[in-house]
Chain A
Amino acid sequence: MSEAPLLEVRDLSLSVKTDAGPARILDHVDFDIRPGEIFGIVGESGCGKSTLAKTVLGLPPRNSVIDSGRVMFRGENLFELSRRQTARRLRGGTMGFIPQDPFQSFNPTFTIGKQMLEILRWSGLPEDPEGRPFGRADRKRHRDRLIEVLSAVQIPDPAEALDRYPHQFSGGQRQRILIAGALAARPGLILADEPTTALDVTTQMQILKLLRDLAAEYDVAMMFVTHDFGVVAQICDRVSVMYAGQTVETGTAADIIDNPRHPYTEKLIGCHPERSGNLVGIPGKVSSPIDPPMGCRFHPRCALAERRCSEVRPPLEGPAGGRRIACHVRGAAS
């Protein structure tokens, strides 16, 4: 707990300009990820998880403004770096990214190898553990590294796989290759945006196990975005539950699953998510970020809502790094 966090997201608010006015997609989001831990971001579809992940990667949506807060990675404020630096030093080199859809995320007209080499080519990672520079021209070394990570994700015959095209692999294999891509540049943090949602249940289990093993083996931290508490239970150390762009509850995964306190978390755990991430068990929809409800954004769907819930926004209360909750009724203050 005394360890310095790898990633600090502090009081982050972000709006996008829409035809109907500004929409607050992220509202005072606040969490830390420590080195080596798997941190879950959980919430229904549309509550801002992908936007959060992209913003941490240095790619906020077009037409968006950061209204407040900062993102610190290894003590460096991401918003103070130039776009170029962000791209080279943070995104490519020290943060890996695993996208949601293994079917759409590859360019269909280029080989796996060509696409993965680009990741290494543009990563700002200066050296490998033996101290040799990752020379931009040194394609051979990059290729060897790719073969290494492809074996790590259990792709058979990795050298040959590099010369094949995406459509020649199954969905599960493609997701493994994307994971290898995220590992290739030896990142300290991997952002995974619902990496198993597009896969069938069996494949999903295998991929989750692989991710857990690799995170431990390579000592890499992970920000794991999902809408499914079943997945959280399998892989996450700590989680932050998001609703309509706000953090409603945060703590260790085990603690929250055993003892959810925020009414939204409770519902989220109790119901069965569909593939789409829409929750069957919770009536209503995530409120529109353009005209969000006053007070607690969840109150129109909350069974426990009181008068103050529609008037005052509940603050996220609790010890820093410990169990925190934003709820008038169930919160620490009540």
Chain B
Amino acid sequence: MILFVIRRLILIVPTLLGLLVLTFMMLRMGAGDPAAAIAGDNATPEQIARIREDLGLNDPLVIQFWDYLSHAARGDFGVSAYTNRAVGADIALRLPATLELTFFALLIAAVFGIAFGTLAGVWRNSVFDHVTRVVSVAGLATASFWFAIMLQLIFSMDLQVLPLRGRLPTGMPPPPFITGSYVIDALFTGRFETAWEALRHIILPAFTISLGGLATVARFTRSSVISSMQSEFASYERAVGYPERRVVLPYVLRNSLVTPVTQIGLLFGAFVSSAVAVEAIFDWPGLGSYLVNAIFTSDFQAVLAVTLVIGLVYGIVNIVVDLVHGLLDPRVAERM
């Protein structure tokens, strides 16, 4: 088990390296000049040329890449052309906000997706099933920015039950840093008022991000519940006297979770990319808005570092998914 985790963690390294090479090439070969971005709008061509020289942008790509890599390995991701601060510090500031948001979204997608999918599978062809299906098709088809604005209009403007933007009300101090999630950190330190406010703030953006994923998880759960309900083992369980609710919970359900759990792992990537738009709408101080700015301003150091961090988290999430598989299925655990 531990060996499995170590092996998988080691395997992340070449993946990240590949990701980095790809991003590096795309940035260097695409439009946009980082030197010009750093120099600013009023710079003379000579100034830009000097910055190019200083940054080593005239060196061969391989040297440049090696240069970046050797710095990055020591935790030095360069200076952001946009914020003028160390990229590492910028990310450390913003990453927790994005992670809190995407993990809440994953939690919503997992809990509700699995619950709705299971009920729809058990009550196949019932009204509940049909309604769930229509809603999930709608959920998949809905553009998240539109949905976000609708939620804001209804819950923040009209009903005024949930806040419009940000992570906390203005003036409320964030809780001390433990995990980086305001909700969890506030709970840990006994600031229930803060935890409650943080929770209220995260609901709308997290729900917006989770929508498509929730629908996907519900559909995968439904079809795997249906096939488990018709399986030989379910028919045996009924024949030897298990009551139907017992057949479903836990026996059918545990077998049906493998596919949706894989989906949840894959969804993380989609959630991060949808967070980019959603963070802007809800004024969520995460990596999304940082990344957008970085791309628009040719802030290459920032783009590279964010890509690297997201790639790393994605890799870790998928190791966790595999561990959950092992928990669900002893045959998988044996191969770990």
Chain A residues in the interface with B (C-beta under 8 A): 54, 57, 59, 87-88, 91-93, 96-97, 99, 101, 104-110, 115, 118-119, 122-123, 165, 167, 181-182
Q: Is B7 an interface position by the 8 A CB rule?
A: no
Interface flags, B231-259, vs A, CB<8A=1, else 0: 11101111111110010001100110000
Q: Can you add 7 more A-B contacts, CB < 8 Å, to A91-B240, A122-B242?
A: A54-B239, A87-B241, A87-B243, A92-B240, A93-B241, A109-B328, A118-B242
- A110 — which chain B residues lie within 8 A by C-beta? 250-251, 254
CA distance A118 to B251 in the complex (A): 11
Nearest CB of A to B172, in Å: 45
- The reply to whether B236 and A105 form a contact with Cβ atoms under 8 Å apart is yes
CA distance A87 to B329 in the complex (A): 29
Nearest 6 CB-CB pairings of A with B: A92-B241, A104-B232, A105-B236, A122-B241, A97-B239, A91-B241
Q: Which of B231, B241, B255, B329 has the most CB of A within 10 A?
A: B241
Interface flags, B242-284, vs A, CB<8A=1, else 0: 1100100011001100000000000000000000000000000
- B255 — which chain A residues lie within 8 A by C-beta? 107-109
Chain B residues in the interface with A (C-beta under 8 A): 231-233, 235-243, 246, 250-251, 254-255, 328-331
- Which secondary structure characterizes the binding site on chain B? helix
6 residue pairs of the A-B complex, CB under 8 angstroms, read: A91-B240, A97-B240, A104-B232, A107-B255, A108-B331, A122-B243
Nearest CB of A to B106, in Å: 23
CA distance A309 to B250 in the complex (A): 53
Nearest CB of A to B125, in Å: 12
Instruction: Specify the chain A residue showing the minimal Cβ separation from B228.
Output: A107
- A87 — which chain B residues lie within 8 A by C-beta? 241, 243
Task: Identify which of A88, A96, A108, A118 contacts B329 (C-beta below 8 A).
Answer: A108
CA distance A93 to B85 in the complex (A): 74
CA distance A101 to B233 in the complex (A): 9
Q: Which of B233, B255, B328 has the most CB of A within 10 A?
A: B233
- The reply to whether B251 and A107 form a contact with Cβ atoms under 8 Å apart is yes
- The reply to whether A165 and B241 form a contact with Cβ atoms under 8 Å apart is no
- The reply to whether B232 and A101 form a contact with Cβ atoms under 8 Å apart is yes
> A104-B233, A122-B246 known; A109 and B330 CB under 8 Å?
yes
CA distance A106 to B234 in the complex (A): 9
CA distance A101 to B250 in the complex (A): 22
- The reply to whether A91 and B239 form a contact with Cβ atoms under 8 Å apart is yes
Nearest CB of B to A313, in Å: 32
> A99-B232, A105-B233, A110-B254 known; A88 and B241 CB under 8 Å?
yes
CA distance A119 to B241 in the complex (A): 6
- The reply to whether B331 and A165 form a contact with Cβ atoms under 8 Å apart is yes
- A104 — which chain B residues lie within 8 A by C-beta? 231-233
Nearest CB of B to A24, in Å: 22
- B242 — which chain A residues lie within 8 A by C-beta? 118-119, 122
